[in-house]
Amino acid sequence: RFGMRMVGPNCMGVLNTSPAVGMNATFSPSSPPHGPVAIISQSGAIGQSILDLAGELGIGVCQFVSVGNKPDVSGNDLLQYWNQDPEVHVILMYLESFGNPRKFFRITRDLGRRKPIFVVKAGRTAAGARAAASHTAALSGTDLAADALLAQAGVLRAQTVEELFDYAMAFPRLPLPRGNRVAIVSNAGGPAIILTDACESAGLSVTELTPETQRAVRERVPDEAVVRNPVDLIASATATTYRDVLTLVLQDPGVDAVIASFIPPLGIQAKDVADAIVAAAATRKDIPLVAVLMGRQGVSAGMRRLMEAGIPGYMFPESAARALAALNRYRTWLARPEGTEQTFPADKERVDTILAAAQAAGRERLTEAEALAVLDAYGIPTAPWRAARTAEEAMLAAAQVGYPVVLKVMSDQIVHKSDVGGVVLDLKTVDEVREGYARLVRRVRERTGVDVREVLVQRMLPGGRETIVGMTRDPRVGPLLMFGLGGVFVEAMKDVVFRVHPLTDVDAHEMIREVRGFAILEGMRGETSVHLVGLEEVLQRASQLVGDHEALLEMDINPLVAFPDQVAALDARFRIAR
């Protein structure tokens, strides 16, 4: 009643290293040095480990909070508090769950533009699988929802606590790179190759140094050395060689970041090389430089020297590559426009009527005709179609939509039409439509026992690239929109991207380009690109649709076929709330 806030219960306490406070109200026997990092942990044991590691690695921590059961103070409360705290520059989080994921999204999307936020989110796997009527629901999961939420909010996700500290060592100490071009300077070929692979795998580019830089480096190294990038100084390289070569590489206009790698040979001390790295870094404080000191002999002294100078030192090449990649991702996020949520003309009342009729009939799925009508109401292009209940109606509908046509069975008892022979393709004449209708009805009855008469008659659109736009509702996060390669390959390839509703124009643009098969859409070997702008608009219209109608639980627009000049939905499936 006095307005006192409570952290916990069931937590390991709180810590504030500020000289004005100096409080260690945790079970930890030691306290890390004071610095710009704030930490949240939902696990007391992991929190203890984080504090120990921070002290060992020399990472300065200003505040640490083990939140425990969170009946009062939550992680979101702390984020809002740290948003106003000038001592906090970087935030690390170990999470097992989101208390209020939508609020977390709103807070971090704003806070992350001023203070980088890193999260280890536990619970990546789900025990068991749930049956789902749509591809989107089958492919989604709690972890995908977390991935989508964190990506849109600009929060960088670490897969392990080790990665979390790889990032924490770099971010308070280094400037952001200007781009993704990395130079590597090493005294051994093996580590240089591993670093190159790790950088390229993380989205960094190990490009050649300029001819001028290569000539200047060549003058300072033996003939056996490699000067292109990665630069291999060979094992005889001295501390002076490191200092001179790193200084030259840092001046190269094509270099945005540098990794100095060293493994101690006989007669050369890690501390001396660390001194050389520090001296070179002082010549270009606007270029991030990290070091990899491998081996055991004398390395600890070198690491201490690097930490004292504010240069991140890592034991393994992959850690250095991850840290620079994270710096570059954060730079990209800061440069990313926030985007706008578009509103398109739509017939909301028509969709309300369709949903109400299906619910009144006790159905949990829309027929395909109803599904396509929903898309039409929101301006999502569809291939011309008509519903038919007899062979004669089907023949008339074919003349109206234009040949060639496809016939598709319509029944809320059949989810995947092609699995039961419920699709007849490429019908070019009236007689083919008559015979195709009879064949479809007979085949479905034989395979399912369902006596279906209603079919969808739709114009065939040959060619194009098949994609999918989908939606499922996560119980905590809300609607998740999906884009990927479509048709029968969506489950086999699982090349899909999720984002949290609502989508902005920037979200839609990025989703399409993040699928692994984007080159197929963009055009390969001289092929024309599909209508990417049209795909982006469909995603935004679909976002508006699911936002307007909470009764829509799952959606698949599959295939959504993309041509160079248009896109068109050939099939759609909706599961609705009863």
* Residue-wise pLDDT tens digits, 18-35: 999 999 999 888 789 999
- Give the confidence band of 132 by pLDDT, cuts at 50, 70, 90: very low
pLDDT band at residue 420, thresholds of 50, 70 and 90? confident
Tokens found for residue 436: 């195709």
Above 70 in pLDDT, residue 139? no
The highest-confidence range among 103-117, 298-312, 446-460, 479-493, by mean pLDDT, is 103-117
Report the C-alpha gap between 274 and 9 in whole angstroms: 45
Nearest alpha carbon to residue 375 among 447, 440, 471 = 471
Location of structure tokens 């540098």: 258
Residue 129 has pLDDT above 50, yes or no: no
Cα 469 from Cα 246, distance rounded (Å): 49
Enumerate residues 6+ apart whose C-beta is below 8 A from 527.
none
Name the percent of the chain lying above pLDDT 70: 96
Q: Is the pLDDT of residue 570 over 80?
A: yes
Nearest to 326 by CA among 192, 470, 164: 164
- Of 1-5, 216-220, 406-410, 521-525, the least confident: 521-525
**Which among 483, 443, 461, 436 has a CA at the least distance from the CA of 568?**
461
Does the reported pTM lie above 0.75?
yes
Residue 322's closest CA among 167, 90, 185, 93?
167
Structure tokens at 429: 């004449």
The average pLDDT across 419-443 equals: 92
Residue linked to tokens 């979200």: 507
Rounded CA gap, 213 and 241, in Å? Answer: 15
The two tokens of residue 29 are 């026997």
pLDDT digits (tens, 9 = 90+) for 471-507: 999 888 889 999 999 866 677 777 899 999 999 999 9
What pLDDT, on a 0 to 100 scale, did the predictor assign at position 142? Answer: 56
Residues 6+ apart with CB under 8 A from 8: 66, 67, 68, 69
pLDDT of residue 419: 80
Q: How high is the pLDDT of residue 362? A: 93
Q: DSSP character for 417?
A: G
Q: pLDDT digit string (tens) for 41-68?
A: 998 888 988 999 898 888 999 999 999 9
Higher-scoring residue by pLDDT: 475, 141: 475
Counting beta carbons within 10 angstroms of the beta carbon of residue 260, is it exposed (0 to 12), middle (13 to 18) or buried (19 or more)?
Answer: buried
- pLDDT tens track for 313-368: 999 999 999 999 999 999 999 999 989 999 999 999 999 999 999 999 999 999 88
pLDDT of 57: 86
Q: Greatest CA separation found in the chain?
A: 93
Q: Compute the mean pLDDT over every residue in the chain, rounded to the nearest whole number.
A: 91
User: 231: closest CA among 254, 253, 206?
Assistant: 206
In total, the chain counts a number of residues equal to 578
Share of the chain above pLDDT 90, in %: 76
- Provide the 10 A C-beta neighbour count for residue 196: 20
**For residues 509 and 372, what is the distance between their CA atoms, to the nearest angstrom?**
24
- Of the two residues 451 and 320, the one the predictor is more confident about is 320
What does the pLDDT read at residue 138?
A: 61
Q: What is the pLDDT of residue 130?
A: 44
The residue assigned the tokens 């800061």 is: 334
Radius of gyration of the chain measured on its C-alpha atoms: 29
For residues 411-426, b (16+ Cβ closer than 10 Å) or e, as one string?
beebeebeebbbbbee
The pLDDT assigned to 128 comes to 35
Q: One-letter amino acid identity for 572?
A: A
Query: What's the average model confidence in pLDDT over 237-261?
Result: 97
